[in-house]
Amino acid sequence: MAGVSSKGSSQHVKIPEEWHVLILVAGTTDPINATEAAESRAVSYDFNDKEYKAGAKKYWDAKFYDEIVNLEKTNGNIILFPFHGWTGDNGIHNREVAGRYLINRLCGAEGEKPYYENKHRTMYFHLLGHSHGGNVVNEMTKQIARLGGAWPEKWKVKSLIYLSTPFFNEIHQAKISQSFFHKDAEVLNLRNDYDLTQRMLADFSIEALSSVLIKMDYTALNNAIDEFKKSLEPLKNFDFDVAKLGVEDKDDRWLHTDIRITYNYYDGKILYETLVKVLETLDIVLERVTDLINDLQDGSKFRISKKLQADMGNKLSDSKTIISPSTAKKIKANISELQTDCKASIPKLKHTINVNEPSKSNYLVTDLIKDLNLLKITKWLERFLSIDTTTLHSSDQNALWNIVYELLEQNIEKFDDTYAIPSPQLKGTFLEHKLTDLNVTSRDRYDSKTQKINYKMFIKRVEQIEKNYKASPNQHNLLDLVFLLIEQEVPLHKLLNFGYWKSWFTKGVFKNAKSDLGQIIAIFEKLDRNYLALSMTRNFGGTKSNDDCSVNEMKCGSVPYLLIESHSTSRRVLHKEVAEFINRLSSTKKVGK
């Protein structure tokens, strides 16, 4: 019988003697588990389902997939098996289920229907996984070992091919045994030094976040945000230049001056009316955000079949709360305080408009500061954004970065430092000296950029933080990593731009330290110093390339580029070394054991 193509649709596939099956296992498609597929943690796989097959194929780049198909055509010994898709969420149990299921499905173990019906034929499997697909491959080897005699005696694993797989110290350890590996089996590993997913992101296995995120109705919140954005439009064209403000003597008494800074009547009225609308729409946004927090706090149930629960020894949790009640309380406390201040400002702004309207009077800048409760809001902002630059804590429990840490900690399933070469997992096995390690760093376009020197300093700091976090998984070490990543994209002090507002307020006559403006200036100066310190200790000159080197709108060397594009270098094309490796291990006319 001729070889069965990967295009075959039969559920029970007959194949000739001594055939090599190349199984493609996709990697993580959802690093933070925010898509609907992730919610069940293990979907019901169906190899005959058209959407399922399309989803599995869709993961691979077209050029890579076409070259793999061409390899199948030119190498008469190979059958391509591209159908194994999985939910792709960054969760430990999902990867365990994915590996276990595929093995059961191939041979018909644990109640599954066999994909290959004749267990007495000699078959050799080449397991190729990209990213966490490589860890699914490892789970496949564990399941074969677990099955023992239920795995056909003549079925042997001939090769393991890892493309940018992050290998763990504790979880997803490969099971290597000569009882089900071919005696001439080998391992091929591809890696890229710029691969930030393999070297950092994959350390964190994330709890599934989709149970609430997908099911929630965002319509009300999105509508509120749209209205808020519209209310801000007039401010884009408003001229806030202090040099263009007017100066008036607001005291009519003889020989007594009371110099005040003013907006002219027309500009002032536009500004005041716009601010009223901004605050009104902001209040609605904050209400909808409060609703969102309540929904996230309530959580939701996962849909997990009884069979999967039984298969996994009841290890799969069927519920998840993204935000704990204590964290939700802190977030809502900040929202409530901001709402109170905004609501108090609206009638004050309207009153000033009514007072100025009859005489078309100019608007006082000092009135604007008071009407907006700007000093009070600035003091809230100081508390909310406060942080000790040494400890990365805030004394205010409701401060932003304390909350960020709590949210991260609540949704990290496990931290397990990763490495790029699978040698530790092969040590002491017969494959220990049968590993080919291929470094494809030079094939990443970023490798030609001068900023790669900055990247080397950056990644060295990342690795040190990872060691620190492994030894002590606390707020300082986790936020140290967060701030480091932010710094490579937009330095915090530039993102928040406190320096701009400080300089704006200190122009002209805004220098009285005891005035509201003087206190506001002092707060902005403090925040500016703090966030500048956070930036300076994490700045290595920037990892982004200065020239035009964008890939899918990701600039070379940016964090998204390093996480996605550099992680995908191994699968953008079928590298010749991979093709040669597969051809060599599947080309023997007379197959041994």
pLDDT at site 451: 93
Bigger pLDDT: 357 vs 113: 357
Tens of pLDDT along 579-592?
999 999 997 654 44
Helix (H, G, I), strand (E, B) or coil at 551: strand
Would you say domain 21-195+421-434+569-586 falls under CATH 3.40.50?
A: yes
Tens of pLDDT along 186-208?
999 999 999 999 999 888 877 65
Q: What ranges do the domains of the chain cover?
A: 21-195+421-434+569-586, 211-386+403-414
pLDDT at site 355: 93
pLDDT at 593 over 50: no
Which residues contact residue 559 at a Cβ distance below 8 angstroms, ignoring those fewer than 6 apart? 196, 485, 488, 489, 543
The amino acid present at 410, given as its one-letter code, is Q
Question: Tokens at residue 322, please?
Answer: 């993204």
Give 395: exposed, middle or buried? Use CB within 10 Å, 0-12, 13-18, 19+.
exposed
Task: Measure the CA dihedral 31/35/40/41, to 10°.
Answer: -10
**DSSP annotation of 591:** -
The amino acid present at 77, given as its one-letter code, is N
Instruction: Please tell me the distance from the alpha carbon of residue 467 to that of residue 485, in angstroms, as a whole number.
Output: 16
pLDDT at site 81: 86
pLDDT at site 295: 79
Range of lowest pLDDT (36-45, 131-140, 266-275, 468-477): 36-45
**CB distance 546 to 451 below 8 Å:** yes
Own/partner long-range contacts of 493-496 (Cβ < 8 Å, ≥24 apart): 493/528, 493/531, 493/532, 493/534, 493/535, 494/535, 496/385, 496/527, 496/531
Range of lowest pLDDT (293-302, 464-473, 581-590): 293-302
pLDDT at 46 over 90: no
Range of lowest pLDDT (257-271, 390-404, 459-473): 257-271
What residues are paired with 24 via a beta bridge?
128
pLDDT at site 33: 36
The amino acid present at 131, given as its one-letter code, is S
Q: Which residue has the tokens 């029970």?
A: 12
Residues 181, 186, 190, 191, CA torsion sign: positive
Average pLDDT, the chain: 82
**Number of Cβ within a 10 Å radius of residue 49:** 13
pLDDT at site 500: 58
Q: Which residue has the tokens 């001939």?
A: 158
Which residues contact residue 367 at a Cβ distance below 8 angstroms, ignoring those fewer than 6 apart? 352
**Cα Rg for the chain, rounded, in angstroms?**
30
pLDDT at site 548: 65
Strand 412-415 vs strand 204-206: parallel, antiparallel, or unpaired?
antiparallel
**What pLDDT band is residue 467 in, cutting at 50, 70 and 90?**
very high
- Geometric angle at alpha carbon 388, from 383 and 394, rounded to 5°: 45
- The pLDDT of 446-470, averaged and rounded, is 95
- The pLDDT of 330-342, averaged and rounded, is 95
The amino acid present at 204, given as its one-letter code, is F
- The pLDDT of 229-255, averaged and rounded, is 64
Architecture of domain 211-386+403-414: Up-down Bundle (1.20)
Instruction: Please tell me the distance from the alpha carbon of residue 199 to that of residue 195, in angstroms, as a whole number.
Output: 6
Range of lowest pLDDT (68-77, 168-177, 395-404): 68-77
